[in-house]
Structure 1
Amino acid sequence: MSMKVIPYGRQDITQQDIDAVIKALTSDFLTQGPTILEFEKKFADYVGAKYAVAVANGTAALHLSTMALKVNSQSKVITTPITFAATANCVRYCDGEVVFADISPETVVLDVDKVAALLKASPKGTYQGIIPVDFAGYPVNMEKFRALADEYGLWIIEDACHAPGAYFTDSKGQQQWCGNGVFADLTVFSFHPVKHIACGEGGMITTNNKELYDKLMVLRTHGIHRDPAHLNENHGGWYYEMKELGYNYRLTDIQSALGISQLANANERMKRRRAIAERYDRAFAKAGIALAAPGKGIGHAYHLYIIQVNNRKALYDKLREKGIYAQVHYVPVHTMPYYQGLGYKKGSMPVAEAYYDKCLSLPMYPTLTDEEQEYVISVILANPQ
């Protein structure tokens, strides 16, 4: 096989996608038009939620969610250290305090038992919310987190940026799709190019709570109200009022058109991701490589396919030498200099830190060919673990 760079992830843009964007470019609206609402409705239907709010990116989705839930300097919010920094940063944007709880070694997602222990060790009212992450596409059991949150009066933001199309099976045998709003107050998604649905940049917040939906719609557009029913005064059809401090976190019609087109093929792309994962699983099953295989009743979205190996740095370097650009997800957030400056210490999250020492994300995207995948597998198996 000729030397060719194989990334860990990449977008899949079809002619259908290109045609959809061209149509948007030649329409009357490039932004703040009807295509955004169409995308929101179709995405809400896809995950099974009542409402969806399209925003500029996944980080904006997190920030608006914490604002809508009134995070402030008195708030303490629990999340996982194995995530992209934005999951924790959104709490800091609102001057809240981030509290990390360790992960489960089997699933690499936030450990509900460790969160329960944290809550039990403090008086009720100490914490305001939990932000679990469907890391790599593995769906958190939100039913268990909801029961815990209800016991302590907490809200939940589900970070499902890795997991559109993922699901877990609840205690009644029902499949619960990430973002359907049954257990989480708000769920956030990302449409970055390496994600399942690519919009260049973009994000979405889903919810079943009408009050939160209305709040998010105002916050994403500067805190401005135009509906005459919500104005203190009304000078005419042009009049609007800014009632609170919001942001310009809107998505464009151009990006929404691309998102709608991408969404139409989401199920086919998911099938391909799962087929790639199965092939990796078979290849590595007897090689002594630790895999995060999904349990019974789990619909893994496979944004990432992660192995854990003892010689991670050597294997990473060897793969790059062979044109395979594997990646590491993630450096634990609590070890970042910013968070260490706030008092968080290395050694405080032993499971997360042990995972980080061995984790490696392999190429995982729908257009990865069988030949390319076999090449990746052969290079890994040729280098003892």
Structure 2
Amino acid sequence: MIPYGRQSISEDDIKAVVDVLRGDYLTTGPAVGAFEAALAESVGARHAIACSNGTAALHLASLAIGLEPGDQVIVPSISFVATANGPRLVGAEIVFADVDPDSALLTPAALEDAISRADPQRLKAVFVVHMGGNPAPMAEISAIARARGLKVIEDACHALGTEAEDGRPWRVGDCAFSDCAVFSFHPVKTITTGEGGAITTNDDGLARRMRLERNHGLEREREGFGNEALAFDTDGATNPWYYELTRLGLNYRLTDFQAALGTTQLSRLPDFLRRRRALTARYREAFARLNDDSLSLVPAPASSDPALHLMVALVDFDRLGISRAKFMNRLRDKGVGTQVHYIPIHRQPYYVKASPTPELPGADRYYARCLSLPLYPDMTEADVDKVVEAVRAVAQG
């Protein structure tokens, strides 16, 4: 069976984890800082804050930008539910935006429409998803948001390594057009730490707040202490055991052995990106030869060099006269695993009640046709050919 996604683990990855397991620190040790420094350098941001998973990263970002109960944020409806859940966990109301029906990306027009449905006094932020690894039009989105004083958060969980040009070259995670960018390191993502996530930012204040929030809200820096009688020795030195609870925080820490895996995975990132781009090119060439209007691949935005996490086919199941479930089952019988990314979040029962939303035709149109095909670095060209041949055979009945 060819799965839709899979981690790639090398002997160097294994050795890095074992070295930490044999060392002194399994958590709150030096490996986390090393991983954060490597990630920040890789994407071109000033700070990287590692945490336990991508959902935690979205929650931390929501806390750091100061979202409070009753605030509103805009979230595109096509994403994993965590994109909405992060701000919702701090009490924000979600205003769902439509997306382009072929790329599932938030567009400037869809953002303007969502803004028109929001309360201008309560609207605080826009969460932008780089769906599948394709970059959203960040320069235009950022300009619209900044003109209204809105914070911009990139959900970049699919897009490590993606580059684009919007008036200037930029890289997902460098925060050229945003306040911060959020990553996931789940096993099917571009690199993995098993579970894990991170936020990148160029804002010193946001970075400091996120580091506090991920570790219970505990202040350990001298300049942040408020109780001098408890904090300092008679000579004015800081008591070595001392900390202060400055705000209610969470335990969202990443372990050192996860961070060690992340660092070696980052060292392999250039190879991962080359492989994903080569496999993407193979898929595009093979689909072009099918010459079937019922079958296509999600297009890449102009002036972009995406590092795709998902290889999404757009399939006209109605035209083919077959349900998506039957299509997927027949592919599985041929040894090809697939998945659907994603059910529109505004259609989820929780959000139907919490955030009633008008029709979003782009999101519904995309969802009706999307099917994620296998894509991961250890695939071969022969695997791609097998997948495309299986798709052709099932489509032709």
Instruction: Tell me which interval the TM-score lies in, with the shorter structure as reference length.
Output: over 0.9
CA distance in 2 between partners of 1:316 and 1:193 (Å): 22
Once the two structures are TM-superposed, the CA of residue 341 in structure 1 deviates from its matched residue by 2.3
Kept in 2: contact 1:335–1:344 (CA 8 A): no
After TM superposition, the structure 1 stretch with the greater mean CA deviation from structure 2, 156-165 or 306-315, is 306-315
Listed one character per residue, the Cα deviations across residues 170-193 of structure 1 (whole Å, up to 9, x for unaligned) are 21xx32101102111011000000
After TM superposition, the structure 1 stretch with the greater mean CA deviation from structure 2, 310-319 or 45-54, is 310-319
Q: Report the counterpart of residue 290 of structure 1 in structure 2.
A: 296
Q: Report the counterpart of residue 281 of structure 1 in structure 2.
A: 284
Normalization by structure 1: what TM-score? 0.95
Q: Determine whether 1:379 maps to 2:385.
A: no
Residue type at the aligned position of 1:334: H
Once the two structures are TM-superposed, the CA of residue 33 in structure 1 deviates from its matched residue by 0.6
Structure 1: gaps (5+ residues): none
Structure 2 counterpart of 1:307, from 288, 293, 313: 313
Kept in 2: contact 1:156–1:186 (CA 8 A): yes
- Identical aligned pairs, as a percentage? 40
Q: Determine whether 1:98 maps to 2:94.
A: yes
CA distance in 2 between partners of 1:250 and 1:267 (Å): 27
Q: Report the counterpart of residue 253 of structure 1 in structure 2.
A: 256
Listed one character per residue, the Cα deviations across residues 56-108 of structure 1 (whole Å, up to 9, x for unaligned) are 00000000100111111121000111100000011210111000010012421
Q: Determine whether 1:365 maps to 2:371.
A: no
Report matched runs for 1:129-278 at 5 Å. 129-171=125-167, 174-233=168-227, 234-235=231-232, 236-278=239-281
CA distance in 1 between partners of 2:206 and 2:125 (Å): 15
CA distance in 1 between partners of 2:344 and 2:350 (Å): 12
Kept in 2: contact 1:56–1:249 (CA 8 A): yes
CA distance in 1 between partners of 2:84 and 2:117 (Å): 22
Report matched runs for 1:82-97 at 5 Å. 82-97=78-93
Residue type at the aligned position of 1:206: T
SS at match of 1:324: coil
Q: Report the counterpart of residue 21 of structure 1 in structure 2.
A: 17
Q: How many residues of Structure 1 are paired with residues of Structure 2 in the alignment?
A: 378
Residue type at the aligned position of 2:204: K
Normalization by structure 2: what TM-score? 0.92
SS at match of 2:129: coil
Once the two structures are TM-superposed, the CA of residue 117 in structure 1 deviates from its matched residue by 3.0
Once the two structures are TM-superposed, the CA of residue 308 in structure 1 deviates from its matched residue by 0.9
SS at match of 1:206: strand
State the 4+ residue runs in structure 1 displaced beyond 4 angstroms: 120-123
CA distance in 2 between partners of 1:121 and 1:60 (Å): 28
Structure 2 counterpart of 1:117, from 96, 113, 121: 113
Structure 2: gaps (5+ residues): 233-238, 318-323
SS at match of 2:394: coil
Residue type at the aligned position of 1:304: L
Structure 2 counterpart of 1:353, from 359, 364, 379: 364
Listed one character per residue, the Cα deviations across residues 269-326 of structure 1 (whole Å, up to 9, x for unaligned) are 1111111111111111223212212133211111000011122333212111222110
Q: Report the counterpart of residue 32 of structure 1 in structure 2.
A: 28
**Structure 2 CA distance for partners of 1:242 and 1:19, relative to 1, 3 Å:** same
